[in-house]
Structures are given as C-alpha cells and as structure tokens.
Structure 1
Amino acid sequence: MKRGITSTDDCNSVFMQNADKDGPGGSYCSDFSLNKLKKLEFYENESLDEKTKQKRIICNLPTKCMHNPSTFFSFSAYETHYQQQHCNVCYKCEKVFPSLRILELHISEVHDPIVSLKKERGEQIFACFIEKCQERFHNTRERRKHLVQNHFYPKEYHFNVIYTGISSKDTSLLFSKKNTKKKNKKYQQQAIITSEISSGDSLMNELVDKMESTRLVPLKVHFGNPLLDIQVKDQGFLKKYDLEPNGSILAGEKHIPIYEEIIQFSDVKYVAGGSAQNTLRGAQYILPKNSTVYVGCVGNDELANYLRSVAEKEGLRTEYLVDTSEPTGVCAVILDGVNRSLVTRLAAAKNYNISHLKSPKIWSLVENADFYYIEGYHFSVCSLCISAICEEAAIKNKVFIINLSAEYLCYSYKTLMDSVSQYWDYVISNESEAIAYADSHDIQTTNIAKIAKYISELPKKNNKRPRVVIITQGDKDIVVAESYNGQTKVTYFSVPKVPDDEILDTNAVGDAFAGGFIASLILGYSLERNVQCGIWLAQLCIKQNGATFPFPKQIFSEQ
C-alpha cells in the first residue's frame, strides 16, 4: 500500500523561496524539518504480514535524486543522506557542496556579478576557506598556498571544489589519479622484507597459538587506509622537500621522487602502517588471536602481500578490497632524532567503496561484530561506509569509536562529521585535533577540558550508552569527558615520563594508545584501566621503530 506526504510546493519552489528571502547566499535548503519532507514517498511492503511490514522512504529531492530516487529503510538513514546530498545545494547550477562555507564562496565567486566586476578590477576577492580567517587573495593559487601553509590543508586537496561541487557517488576531496602509471615498481620489488617480529621461545609461542585459536572476545571491525611505512633517517630530505620535523602531510607532485630516493639507503626499514591498521595491530598485541578484522583498499602488488603477511603473523585478519588501477599506499617516514615527518601517498587506499562493504562476506563480518572503529581519514574516502556502520551500531546497540585523526579533517569534512556525530560512543583525539574541531564549530575556547565536555554533550542517537571523549596531549595529562543521562564528568590521567634516551620513534604512538585503550575496552575493563592500558602500549611503541611492539609479548598490569 502506498502512502504519500502531500505538499503544495515542489522542491524547486522551496529553493526559490529561500533565495528570495535570503538573497544570493540563501540558495541552500536550510530548513531541514520542512524541506527534507518535500518529494518524499513512504511505502509499505504489501507482501509482508502486519508484524513484519517494512516502511521505505523514497527521496526524489533535486538534484541528485530527482531522476534517480534513493531508497531508505529508516528515517535516520535518510537524515544522514539529506545532510550529505541536499543540505548545501546551489539553486542556480544545482551543484552540491561539502559545507555551507564552501557554498557561500561558490555563490560569491561564480554567480555574484558585483564580485565579478571587482575581480576584473584586480581586487582581492578570493576568501580563505576558514570562516574565521579574514585573508583575501588576488587568485586561487595564492589562496591554495595560504591554506596549505597556514591551515595545513593537504596538497592533494580538491581546492576547485568551490567550482565543481561534489558528486553523489564520491564525496572525497582528495585527487585520485587512477590513470597514472605506476611509478613505484622499483620499491615494490625491493619490499621483500623479513618480519620484524621476534620468534621468542618457540615452545611458548606454540602454546599461546593453541590457547588463542578460539576467540574469547567479540569481533571488532576497523576501517581505514592500509599503508606501508618506509622509514629512513634524515639525509637532507626535510630541507629538500620543505618538510616539518614533526609534521604529517599528503604527498603532492613535488614529493613523489622521495619514495624512490629513500629506498636507496642501506638503513631503510619497511613497517606495516596506516592509522587504523596501526591501532588494530596494537589492539591485537593484547587480544587473543583473530579477535579483529581490518577492512581497506590496497593494490595488486607485493606491498599488499607484505601487509597481509605481517597482519597474519600478528593474529590480525585482513579483508582488503584490491584495486588493480593503483598501487598500495605508502608513507615516507623521515626520522630526525625523536621527531618524525610523514609524507603519505594514499594511492589505492582512497578507492575503498560501499559496494565492497555491502558485499555478503564483508557485511556479515559487520553484523557479527560488537565494536567498530573508524579513523577520521576515512571521511575523505567513503562517507557512505561510515554512515552504514553508524546505523548498524545504533540500531543494534553496538559500540562505535571514531578518531578525529587530523586537524584539516575538522574543517574540510565538518558537514560529514556533523551528520554522524550523533552516533559517536567514543571519540579519540589529540589536543591539536580537538582545538581544530572547536575552532571549526565556533567554540570560543582552547581549553581541552571544555572542548572534551562540549563534544561529549553533543546530541546522541543511542542513549543506552554514554559518550566518552578521550583527548591526549603528548606527555601532559590525558583529558577524558564522560556524558550520560544529562550528567558529565571530566577526569585527568597523568602520563609517566619516558626518558629521552629511550625514545626511538614517535611515529604511530597515538595509534598505539588507541589500540591499547580499545583492547581493554573490548575485554570489559573500567574506563580508568582502559586509559592506563592505552598509555602502557603507547610507551612500548615509542621505544620501537614505527607501529611495532616488543616480542615476546609483554603483559599489561595495573599500577
């Protein structure tokens, strides 16, 4: 039986009404409660009995769904879709933009005749993407340089999104050079590396393997960008490629030669990497074998085979989507004393898609898991995957954990983050990312405790669970805010100092903290114990090369 929501206005008239009311800047559907119901149709499956009747929501909103309607089986799923595809739409060219700020800049630079006249006179009309920043520029090249240098935007960022918008199938704001020839065959062939895992006592290892063959804890699923870390001590690379000693960037065109150069050195080391994969390998260091599964996209090459072999030896199950058009992603790790500079080339990692997630094999893993962990970098890869996992977690009262991952994500993917923030049960961040989140949301403070409290008190979909926000600050206190049933508690956890002469590599230390915290969480321990376990694993990692841990395995014990 078909049921409809009637409306005297079609959606096009709604767009025009907003434009008339708000002027050139009001061309987006801002009234969610009214506009999102236009052009919707609700259905019931007539073949089902009364108990099992299912309601469907059909979205016909312009522009993406007008000729190709989308179907949803819950209003929350439709709400996420609306936020991502219909919230920031230009009524003149019908393009969708990732945020209100980008939409406003698009209208000004593309459709405003007065701004066009100012441009012809040579005035500075190109505003910064960050709303609080008052800088203006003569051309887009100057703006791009400013965003990269002052706001740490990756050089692969799609800066022309102001003019092109985002497509319905791909919300990534990073370039994907699918037709580029593979230039890294040389270091693919040289990446035949012996495992860095010590064998330890063979008899004890055999006993541990037998004891761990049965999984005693709920399965946990991670989603992220699988990468191979290529580590080398600085040989003038920081100066040559204009790299910060402790920075992290996505590789631009000028950085591509660095991968060929670093593999020439005799002290080069290869370590399985990728933020979420590092976290999961850390968790697996503590958990029984095959407790976790990692999902991401790799190329069809030796680098992917190496990542699989390392994961298998560490008791981690991988379910990679294989992309034959691009090589496996790599990260150049330039070590300079206790500092490390990261230069990441995502390659195949950014091509993960919803089709692989929804395949019977992968989705069955999702359905059987009780914990989900997603790195913030995945917002630049497949936001639809994040939405699907969020829905699954909320409906079935499972645990959803998000890591903010990087400062620029809080600005570039603010709308996407906000569309799923209601699903967050645990939020992990460092202080820089937390401050960036606050700045992008006009929270007038840099106080970490206040920011943690604010995030913990955001609206929540699943009220059966508290929201816990964990913000690390290097060797300073870790701030934890826990909000439940209208009450919020903020706690500080001290971090024991690691002597400078014991610090080998700070790469992946934050990922290791997340791995230790999550492993303890899965095992059912208290919040305090979870934080202490995270600190313990991070301090093991900081004494190793990259995301590696000492073997034979050490056992965490509370202080």
Structure 2
Amino acid sequence: MKHIAIIGECMIELNGKPFGEMHQTFGGDTLNAAVYLNRGCQLNSEDTLIRTSFVSALGTDAISEAMIARWQDENIDTQFVLRDGDRTPGLYLIQLDEQGERTFLYWRNQSAAKYLLQHPNFDTIAHALKSTNMVFLSGISLAILPTEDRVKLFGLLNELKRNDVEISFDSNYRPALWPSDELITVKENYRQMYQLTDIALVTFDDEKLIWGDLNPQATIERLHSEGIKNVVLKLGAEGCLVSENFGKQSLTVPTQPVKNVVDTTSAGDSFNGGFLSCYLAGGSMEHSCQRGNRLAGIVIQHKGAIIPKTATDVVTQKH
C-alpha cells in the first residue's frame, strides 16, 4: 500500500451572492486534492491500494466534527488531523462571474490550521510522516503559516526527503495571503520549497505572476534549475506540459475542450488528485496527466470545490 500525506487547510465554504442565495459546504486546495485523489483511485486495479492522510488542525466545534465525518465518508484518513479547543475552521466566500471565474473573500487569521505546527502533538505527526511514501502540499499550505512555523516545516521536509519520502508541491500562489508588496518573501520561500520538491504540479499563470516567465518552456527550465526532477505545468484549457528527468523527456498532454464551464474553483486541485491517484499506483507521468485532465474537465462543469460523487462516476469508469 502506498501512503500519501497531504498537508494543508480546509475551511467552511460559502458559495453564492452576498445577502442572497448561499450554499454552504467546505473546501481547501489540498483537501480538495485529497478527495479527488481517492475518487480517482477507483480507476486503479483492485490490488492497488493508496492510503490518503490529511494533515491539518480543526476545532472541537460542531462544524469541525461534521467536516471530519465528511472526510471519512470520502475515505480520507483523519488520524493526522489535530484538534484545537481554542480555535475553529476558517471561512471563505466564493463569488462567480458569468464566465465561471471566481473571486474569494477569506476569514482565516485565527483558524486552527494556521497554528498546526504549534500544536503540542504535532511532533508525533512529524515522526509518523517519515513512514509515508509521499508528502504533498501547496503554496497556500506555506502562506497561512507564521514565519517561524514555515521554517520549522522546511526543516521537517528536509528530514523527510532524507528518509526517501517523495515531495510533491503545487505553488498555487494567492497574493492576498502573503505580505503586501513583498514579492521577495514569496520568492525566498518558494525557492526553498522548490529545492525540496521531487514533483512540481504547478500552473503557468501562477509561475508567470511570481517570476515573470515569458513562456511555459522558461518556467520548466527554471524549475529544473532549482533541482526539481519532474515538472507538470498546467495550462488550463490547453492541458499541460510534462518534463521528466530534468528535461530529458518532455511532451504536451492535451485535454478535451469543455463547452459548459460553470465553476473553475477546483480545476487545479482535481487535476492534482487525479494525477496523484494514477502516479502513486505506478502510472506514467503522461497517463497520470491524462487522468488529471479528465477529472478536472468534469469538475469545472459543476458548482463548488467538491462536486457530488455521482458527478465523477464518468471519470471513474475504465477506459
């Protein structure tokens, strides 16, 4: 059995119009990836098992309890979710325009996940992570942490890497989560993360915004130069580019056009989940990208970060 630990935050999601019709659920980039990873696992052979653990912190309130129950319904292992009696989950509001593009408002400064590494029981989890096969996290996982905790996390990831734990990272850049007008801080933290990363699952628009890359090939070359062996560069409707073994093998993996785009909220997250579900089962980088593309193409035709299980049935049919 392969074991992946996914580090991050899950928040209460409100989706709709302010003071109008509003739908309540939950979401967070890495939690979304965990959900879609497990759904994507239905494509694997019966003898391929993947254990997906979410690493985070929640409160002890009723909403936190309900979140835990929902994650377990998605077969996510929650033994690494710490409970904080003094804090609660964060909250965000999604607003969509007519093209399905979204804007966010966040209330998360005192969320339990923000102080995950300060929890008195976190060291126990850090030790347990040495026995996993892969750790996946995102730029949001980094951004929400206090500076001193980010340093501690990099130290832990260094230790995991020395223990042959594969590190996967999605830069998922959200400017509002970082100090204003301090792009240098973002670059410093991302460089440290890139140097620890074995597989980058990044989006060109994010990388271009941070680094000013002129084209996707420039992004791939820069990431390889940082020490990343395998790069998957997501290009939205154009699919993705894959560059393996420091650029010795590269190809374009196209996706099928989607005519009815409803909500792009979890496009990248569902791609990550689909990709990882195939990769951890022994699939090639190309096949893993194909699965990620297929899953993301279904997800963006529905509202919300996590769509109903029945809506992903078409993805989990053998092909």
- Same structural fold, with TM-score higher than 0.5 when normalized by the shorter chain: yes
Equivalent residue in structure 2 for 1:537, among 291, 295, 313: 295
Matches of 1:275 and 1:403 in 2, distance apart? Answer: 10
Larger mean Cα displacement after TM superposition, 447-456 or 546-555:
546-555
Give the counterpart letter for 2:24 in structure 1: Y
1:92-141, Cα deviation, whole Å (9 max, x unpaired):
xxxxxxxxxxxxxxxxxxxxxxxxxxxxxxxxxxxxxxxxxxxxxxxxxx
Q: Measured at CA, do residues 358 and 384 of structure 1 come closer, stay the same or move farther in structure 2, by a change above 3 Å?
A: farther
SS of match in other structure, 2:274 = helix
Q: How does 1:431-446 map to 2 (within 5 A)?
A: 431-439=204-212, 445-446=213-214
Larger mean Cα displacement after TM superposition, 528-537 or 446-455:
446-455
Q: How does 1:5-154 map to 2 (within 5 A)?
A: none
Sequence identity (%): 17
Equivalent residue in structure 1 for 2:171, among 404, 415, 419: 404
Equivalent residue in structure 1 for 2:84, among 314, 318, 323: 323
Equivalent residue in structure 1 for 2:233, among 458, 463, 471: 471
Determine whether 1:228 maps to 2:1.
Answer: no
Matches of 2:248 and 2:4 in 1, distance apart? Answer: 27
The question of whether the paired residues in 1 share the 8 Å contact of 2:238 and 2:255 is answered with yes
| Partner of residue 339, structure 1 | 101
| Partner of residue 216, structure 2 | 448
Q: Measured at CA, do residues 420 and 404 of structure 1 come closer, stay the same or move farther in structure 2, by a change above 3 Å?
A: closer
The question of whether the paired residues in 1 share the 8 Å contact of 2:255 and 2:294 is answered with no
Determine whether 1:414 maps to 2:187.
Answer: yes
Matches of 1:556 and 1:426 in 2, distance apart? Answer: 27
Matches of 2:187 and 2:63 in 1, distance apart? Answer: 33
Displacement of 1:272 after TM fit? 2.1
| Partner of residue 383, structure 1 | 150
Q: How does 1:205-284 map to 2 (within 5 A)?
A: 217-232=1-16, 234=17, 237=18, 261=19, 265=20, 267-284=21-38
The question of whether the paired residues in 2 share the 8 Å contact of 1:290 and 1:315 is answered with no
Give the counterpart letter for 2:15 in structure 1: Q
Equivalent residue in structure 2 for 1:374, among 96, 114, 137: 137
Displacement of 1:230 after TM fit? 1.1
Determine whether 1:514 maps to 2:253.
Answer: no
SS of match in other structure, 1:423 = coil
Aligned residues: 296
1:432-464, Cα deviation, whole Å (9 max, x unpaired):
21113323xxxxx4111221122023236xxxx
SS of match in other structure, 1:230 = strand
Equivalent residue in structure 1 for 2:160, among 375, 389, 393: 393
Displacement of 1:531 after TM fit? 0.3
The question of whether the paired residues in 1 share the 8 Å contact of 2:8 and 2:56 is answered with yes
Structure 1 alignment gaps of length 5 or more:
1-216, 238-260, 440-444, 461-466
Displacement of 1:509 after TM fit? 1.3
Displacement of 1:279 after TM fit? 0.7
The question of whether the paired residues in 2 share the 8 Å contact of 1:407 and 1:436 is answered with no
| Partner of residue 189, structure 1 | none
Matches of 1:357 and 1:223 in 2, distance apart? Answer: 15
Considering only aligned residues, what root-mean-square deviation do their CA atoms show, in Å? 2.3
The question of whether the paired residues in 2 share the 8 Å contact of 1:411 and 1:437 is answered with no
Give the counterpart letter for 1:454 in structure 2: R
Displacement of 1:397 after TM fit? 1.9
Give the counterpart letter for 1:269 in structure 2: H
1:217-254, Cα deviation, whole Å (9 max, x unpaired):
3111011112121111x3xx5xxxxxxxxxxxxxxxxx
Q: Measured at CA, do residues 286 and 355 of structure 1 come closer, stay the same or move farther in structure 2, by a change above 3 Å?
A: same
Matches of 1:302 and 1:545 in 2, distance apart? Answer: 25
- The one of the two structures with greater contact order (alpha-carbon pairs below 8 A, sep at least 6) is 2
Equivalent residue in structure 2 for 1:353, among 91, 100, 117: 117
The question of whether the paired residues in 2 share the 8 Å contact of 1:227 and 1:274 is answered with yes
Matches of 2:282 and 2:307 in 1, distance apart? Answer: 23
Give the structure with higher Rg (CA).
Answer: 1
